Structure 1
């Protein structure tokens, strides 16, 4: 299941984040690639352990913490420190699948990748191509969202970034280990959560039906979640 999370960053937030990124030095994106990805990947990336990536990563993580829709959709247990990439001049990332286990260089941080995320940081009209194609969920020309919007998709899928033929595509990407490992269970919890919120709006938070449905949600989460 693909989830679109709109307005993770507003226009001011995008501008502030881009000011960090645009002033930074970029390197070959294969700095962090495994052997398979290196065959398909042609882009630029902020150095993983650089000050700009750390500052920009904190900015993104703070924004995610303020997004109830992201929390409901991902039920995050761990979030990998965000990476940042850009594509221009025909650069692309061919078909690949993300590593199941992500390990942070220079630390003991490691996590299972359940969900992959792309936070778009350039207006889609500012570049040609560059769509995110997720096998089984989207077709060419792929997903291109307004700056500040994010897409979540299963890390188990084969996906690619189409060639950017003009302009520059800028984005943040990262992975999430969910408290609920099973995608089907996660989807059911999300749908139930949205239904509970809708019922609460219509009937009031204290309505007996809303209270009972809220209990069902939390009891399922208690049954399925790891923490």
Structure 2
């Protein structure tokens, strides 16, 4: 399930992010990749312990928790600290699948990467190339969104970033552990949630709203893990 969440951040907010990121100190992005992924990765990342990385990551995480579509689609249990990367000078990231398990820095705990997300911080006309291609059972989804928009997709997906041939591509990316690990179950719950909201809007007094809500929460209770 690939879901676009538009305008997670407004244009003025993105400009704030960009102004800070453009003057930051970046490091080789391969240091955070697994063995196979490092062979096909060429970009730069902001170190996780950089004060700016922590500040911007906190803003991203806080906004996610205020975004109903993200909550409904991801059913987030935990979100790993968002990271920031930039691609230029033919920077790219070849076909890879994200690690299934990530350590949570400073805690001794781990997070299962049920869901991958990319927040675009450059507009499409600012760079050539750099498309995010996500493969799933329905084919390949090619994604290049306006700055401030978020794409959410299964962490199990094979995906890649095409070489950037002009300009600079800034993004934030992160992983979410969901209360519901199975993507097909998350899809059903999201569709049911949407149907409940539609019925509640069109027929707010109809008894089926309560029945459907009961079904939703009982499925969530049955399928979730805490």
Pairwise TM-score range, normalised by the shorter structure: over 0.9
8 Å CA contact 1:128–1:167 kept in 2: the answer is yes
Structure 1 unaligned blocks of 5 or more? none
Corresponding residue for residue 67 of structure 2 = 67
1:202 and 1:13 map into 2 onto residues whose CA distance is 35
Structure 2 unaligned blocks of 5 or more? none
1:23 and 1:78 map into 2 onto residues whose CA distance is 30
Q: Are residues 1:181 and 2:181 paired?
A: yes
Q: 1:183, CA displacement in angstroms?
A: 1.0
8 Å CA contact 2:104–2:111 kept in 1: the answer is no
Corresponding residue for residue 170 of structure 1 = 170
1:136-186 CA deviation, whole Å, 9 max, x = no partner?
Answer: 35648x210111111111111111000000011110001011000111111
User: Which secondary structure state, in structure 2, belongs to the residue aligned with residue 135 of structure 1?
Assistant: strand
With normalisation by structure 1, the TM-score equals 0.95
1:24-62 CA deviation, whole Å, 9 max, x = no partner?
Answer: 111111121121111000001001111111001001001
The RMSD of aligned alpha carbons is 1.4
1:22 and 1:107 map into 2 onto residues whose CA distance is 30
Corresponding residue for residue 222 of structure 1 = 221
Q: Which runs of 4+ in 1 moved over 6 A?
A: none
1:178 and 1:198 map into 2 onto residues whose CA distance is 24
User: Between Structure 1 and Structure 2, how many residues are aligned?
Assistant: 225
1:22 and 1:65 map into 2 onto residues whose CA distance is 26
Corresponding residue for residue 28 of structure 2 = 28
